[in-house]
Each structure stands twice: as C-alpha cells, then as structure tokens.
Amino acid sequence: MTNKNSSVKKILLVEDDRQLSDLVSDFLESEGYHVKQEFRGDNVAKKVQQFSPDLILLDIMLPGKDGFTVCKELRPTFNGPILMLTAKGTDFDQVLGLEIGADDYVIKPVEPRVLLARVNALLRRGELPQDGNEKSELSIGQLYVNRSSRQVTLHEDSIDLTSQEFDLLWLLASRAGEVQNRDFIYKAVVGREYDGLDRSVDVRISRLRKKLHDSNETPFRIKTIWGQGYLFVPDAWN
C-alpha cells in the first residue's frame, strides 16, 4: 500500500531498540512514508535540522537524553506532531508527556495498524469539519487566527502553537459560544473515538489556556462545562 499524498511525508523515528526500530521503519516505509532512524536522544535536535521531519516518533527511554527532555527542548522550534512511544503505562507518564508538548502517545507493544492510524491522524492537516461558510481566518476581540498560515496573535503578540493545539483552537473558536462535547472534539482533533479515559484533550486545553493568558483554575476564555465539554467564550478576548 502506498501513501496517496502528492508529497511524501517524512518521519523521524527515535528508538534505541534497533530491531524494533527496523520493524517500525520498514512498516511505515511500506505505507508510503519516508523514515529516518535515530537511536540516541542527544542526536535528535541535529537530525531534526538536517531532515526536517513532518512528524517525530519519540521513545522515552533513550541513551544520551530521555524522550521527555528531547520533547521539551524541541517544542520551541518544532511545531509538527510528536508521538511518544513508551513502555510505561501510568497516567503520570502520559500526562507528563502531553504537558511538555507531545501530541499523542502509544504504549508499547503496539499493533502496527494502531500506530499507523495514530500517525495518519496526527499528520492530517486542515481537515476539521466545516459548517457551511468556510473561513480561513477569525477575528474575535483581540484574538486573530489564520487557518491558512496557521498563525495566531493575541493583542498583536504572536502565539506559538503546536499543530494539534492550533487545530483545537480553530475548532473551538470557529464555534464560539457553543459547547463542544468531548466525542466531537476527539473525532475532529485527535482522530479517534473518546474512550472515557484519554486525557490528551484535557492537557491540550490546559496548554492552550496558558498560552492564551487564561486561567486553568478559574478559566474565563475557554470554559469547562462539566459533563458536557468545552465552551469558547466569544466576549472574553478584548
């Protein structure tokens, strides 16, 4: 099977288990992706500069630097998706990875088709559901969001968002004043059904609030509506 995209997407696979790395690399290559392998955490930044990947598959337990450190260091300059591979299944590890900038995680061992589905979902760009009048930009008070350039400014200050943070902001802002339930958000932004346990959207909301000068304790811009979902407040951006 080959990837039908006109341009081949590039994946940097960072995994110190060389046998596993070869297996994952061969599988993703067979699906039409261009994969480069790296086996040490302290070499990742240089490899990213050289290879310019569209997505990074990042193991946590690595020689040189662990995956958490690598992810945190990459985030100021790399806006593409980071999918963490981990043998650790505790909530702490999962939430920590998301809080420092990972877009998603899978727990090893993972079925190849499950991994492929996560990769495909993270690489999907600009495919959020539209409601009739398609827009490419939004201005809400002092918040400006441009979907084509994926730029965000608040009070004329540029806000750096990851790809998944931007998609979530666009979904909420384009439906300002309407509560968006978790099931819809997970399908549209994460690319899968909400299983009742996954906390990736909660963590992403928390990161958005911090970057958009909202409060996680008493949010007034992106509110949590308990038992329902999230509400983007249209008159809170002046």
71-118: per-residue pLDDT in tens? Answer: 999 988 898 889 998 887 666 677 777 788 888 888 888 889 989 988
pLDDT at residue 23 in the model: 94
Top CATH class, 137-232: mainly alpha
| Between 212 and 107, the higher pLDDT residue | 212
CATH fold of 10-123 reads Rossmann fold (3.40.50)
Q: What is the pTM of this model?
A: 0.70
What whole-number distance in Å separates Cα of residue 118 and Cα of residue 190? 8
Residue ranges, CATH 3.40.50.2300, the chain: 10-123
| Contact by Cβ (8 Å): 234, 177 | yes
- Mean pLDDT across the stretch 135-156? 91
| Residues 23-48: tens digit of each pLDDT | 999 999 999 999 999 999 999 999 99
Residue ranges, CATH 1.10.10.10, the chain: 137-232
- Mean pLDDT across the stretch 167-182? 93
| Contact by Cβ (8 Å): 183, 124 | no
pLDDT at residue 134 in the model: 63
